[in-house]
Structure 1
């Protein structure tokens, strides 16, 4: 990534990956404290966003995440009832791509000054998202931290919202999905994301501010999907994340083969999919879902190339599943039966790296 993009986005994907790798290195040094005891962590899931903990024969998954700077959009619009979908999607979908069915969630809301009504809206939305994904919210805390928490000036409450979720390994799996069984010739199924989800918002907000000024959230949006996304850029950017975990659970319930899965968040398709492309294999994706029109407009506003846009946003593809070629259409049909948009998007190749054949042309990302 060049320095211009780092300045535009306000952060570096490479530096973030390096910091995360270093943090995991330190965390891994603690695994020995539970060796042979309840809560023993798995040693072979490095590179993912959740991990396995063992309690006798029971295999549980655990993962943590937050909504990030999408919260500022909610503060600008003074609407808070959709963020629960983002909060659950970030952790539930991280769990399910490793084969864990999400069951419970604990959350923490750090605020500057407490506003009861805003918290009520947040928790109402979390309740609705939990019902959709069949998760019980079994813990949480609200902490007032004064000027340690900032945000959009004039909002009723500035806050940060993070959660930890746990899940149980699907009974059809002997071990978590890590990519160890991915082989050349297998097929890739894509699930369409109808929103930006909860990633790439620092870049998006900077681009929108540059294009429309400080009140960018009130700027009209006139894309062909405005009826679905909203009439303003604020509404477009607040559109909630679709939670994919129930769909992937249905695939496993149907007994269909699933060798790996990738949750497409920050780092885009290439960075996230490469985490499960082990054994030296790569991928050729020639039938992905088209980027949302808003994403294409935003890339133009930000002055970034398609190669870079596919690193910052999901570009209309929220999850990729690896399955047997002969069962790929059955996997897609099972997902469609649960209300998701899914299609066979490509195949696993013997050559390393990820190649995308999209409307903007061929994009290559090295292994």
Structure 2
């Protein structure tokens, strides 16, 4: 019997099935700027309507949250996570997402699982007026075990050069406004899985995995609603490293983000994790978002307007003078 690619563990037919299952849905994310369809060697996207456009890009994955999804056999939310982690990053600079590409690697391809993951990306792209214009599915026996998957994405957005947000205009007295997260988002899951090994245990009346797999919140719509009416000085996406590591990234020298810990609305699942794992509060703040998925910094005269535009947002601190870029009281 002669050797074939399939005998080595790679089933091309399953890859073709995956494309067939997602092709029409992916096409629904396209607009007049997308110049070709799925299947080309490269994807084409034309840009128009900007005076001095700057492209802003970001790439990310979903980490070991994938393990929760795979063990729970619930795959759709992971695609949303993958898109959100990339799109929320470029949003910090005021960018509008234009297009997204995905990369899916596995040990043994199951077209149903792969399609479900991509369909989550499709949903997220459609909700954010972003085109899913390409991707790669890699079946890699020997590198991954059967049943293992890894997912990553790449997002490109656009912003006018004179509208780039980089934190440089942050000043003393500015208000720090928190936008709630939808949960852990896609960070800290190696610790989450250590403390919560049974994803099927009951938590607040439902299986724990349902709480853990709530997808990362997409902030494009609310943030751009604010940007249309208010001058924003800084935006930080609160991902791995929590407030402690992400807020300082936008704070200029000799200024400090003074955050009132008592004002932070910490989700019950994070309080349960902290209690059950006997985790120090400082470790929690340095690992998880603690209920804040995004912070925006605005002039104190604009804070009320922002709170009117974002019904679930709240003030969590202010900018002061100081050597430390963040102080959590």
TM-score w.r.t. length of structure 1: 0.73
Aligned to 1:315: 290
Deviation (angstroms), 1:333: 1.8
Q: Is the 8 A contact 2:92 2:234 kept in 1?
A: yes
The correspondence for 1:343, drawn from 288, 304, 314, is 314
The correspondence for 2:184, drawn from 196, 204, 212, is 196
Unmatched tracts of structure 1, length 5 or more = 1-54, 151-155, 210-215, 357-361, 363-367
The correspondence for 1:135, drawn from 130, 133, 151, is 130
Unmatched tracts of structure 2, length 5 or more = 1-49
Deviates more, 1:231-240 or 1:321-330: 231-240
What count of residue pairs does the alignment treat as equivalent?
Answer: 278
Aligned to 1:265: 239
Alignment RMSD (CA, Å): 1.7
The correspondence for 1:246, drawn from 221, 226, 231, is 221
Aligned to 1:221: 203
Aligned to 2:306: 331
Q: Distance in 1 between matches of 2:317 and 2:107?
A: 47
Deviation (angstroms), 1:56: 9.3
Q: Distance in 2 between matches of 1:276 and 1:188?
A: 12
Tell me whether 1:297 sits opposite 2:279 in the alignment. no
Q: Distance in 2 between matches of 1:294 and 1:56?
A: 46
Deviation (angstroms), 1:175: 4.8
Aligned to 1:32: none
Q: Which has the larger radius of gyration?
A: 2
Q: Is the 8 A contact 1:283 1:352 kept in 2?
A: no
Aligned to 1:161: 151
Q: For 1:1-367, what aligned pairs fall within 5 Å after superposition?
A: 57-150=52-145, 157-169=147-159, 171=160, 174-209=162-197, 216-222=198-204, 226=205, 231-254=206-229, 256-286=230-260, 288-336=263-311, 341-353=312-324, 354-356=326-328, 362=329
- Deviation digits for residues 207-227 of structure 1 (CA, Å, limit 9, x no counterpart): 123xxxxxx1111113xxx5x
Q: Distance in 2 between matches of 1:252 and 1:149?
A: 43
Q: Is the 8 A contact 1:88 1:130 kept in 2?
A: yes
TM-score w.r.t. length of structure 2: 0.81
- Deviation digits for residues 130-170 of structure 1 (CA, Å, limit 9, x no counterpart): 111211101101000113124xxxxx83210101100011x
Q: Is the 8 A contact 1:189 1:342 kept in 2?
A: yes
Q: Distance in 2 between matches of 1:100 and 1:283?
A: 23
Q: Distance in 2 between matches of 1:333 and 1:166?
A: 30
Please list every run of at least 4 consecutive aligned residues from structure 1 whose deviation after the TM superposition is greater than 4 angstroms.
Answer: none
Q: Distance in 2 between matches of 1:57 and 1:240?
A: 34
